Amino acid sequence: MSHMNASIGKSAGTWVLTAQCPSRLGTVDVVTRFLKESRCYITEQQSFDDRLSERFFIRTEFRPMDAEFDAGAFQADFAARAGEFDMAFELTAPDARLPVVIMVSKADHCLNDLLYRYRTGQLSIDIRAVVSNHPDLEPLAAWHDLPYYHFPITPETKAEQEAQVWQVVQDTGAELVILARYMQVLSSEMCEKLSGRAINIHHSLLPGFKGAKPYHQAYEKGVKLVGATAHYINDDLDEGPIITQGVDPVSHADYPEDLVAKGRDVECLTLARAVAYHVERRVFLHKRRTVVFTR
């Protein structure tokens, strides 16, 4: 079992201000000074300046000192300051729960892990529906009182099936789609619609093994690490901007079934961490890469 901690969260009662802009003198000051003048106490702050692209990123958690905090007035006043820096920003409330749709096929480990973290409050998400191309996991969703949509897919019905999935995303108001071992390749059109708001998880073995039974292939080659990668989807299969990665050591004493079991653990933890980072506004998409402010 990997020892990575996926119980990531922001401090109770804190707001989150995220922003990015061109690199200029005073970018940190414009944020911290405004918060001080607004009587807001900074509890956590991280920033990064990409010298290659001359782009600045900042994430700040803060707690208002006054009981009556007017978020609308805060945003309007800060917009005037931010405009001087061409700064795009977002303010997230302490009780924000991101609406989510989860897509699955037959494997249940990632879905089960996400549902547990959702039920226990470890992830600030609001799961609106579970969508699958198979009926197998409907009982698991039903146990959590979640709508389950079974949309079978064949090469001939791919466009129709994706239209059904997209309708669920729109009807539920989902702002994030989690591909929790959904074993279908999304079309270019679907990838475009979900750009920046769909997270996928897949195994990440060294050397890379594609096709059927990757863990069995890894066993035959005597690999010493199993891993997983969580990334935003794009039109390049399994090559979207990476959010998180995880690894677990294995040895000659581990048989294929052991590699599969360890792989499942790493996949669950890596996906949970990526979702946590996304919903806590710790991830900035930057060209084909990501800036991730870890905790």
Catalytically active residues are 238
Residues 6+ apart with CB under 8 A from 289: 241, 242
Residue 135, preceding peptide bond in cis (omega within 30° of 0): no
CA dist 249 → 44, 222, 288 (Å)? 33, 12, 29
Phi, psi of 225 (to 5 degrees): -140, 140
Centroid of chain to Cα 41: 27
CA distance 234 to 205: 21
CA dihedral 137, 142, 148, 151 (to 10 degrees): 40
Cβ pair 200, 238 in contact under 8 A: yes
> Kind and range of the H or E element at 131?
strand 125-132
Q: What is the number of residues in the chain?
A: 295
Residues in a beta bridge with 228:
203, 246
Question: For residues 107 and 104, what is the distance between their CA atoms, to the nearest angstrom?
Answer: 7
Q: Which of 180, 175, 176, 226 is nearest to 201 (CA)?
A: 180
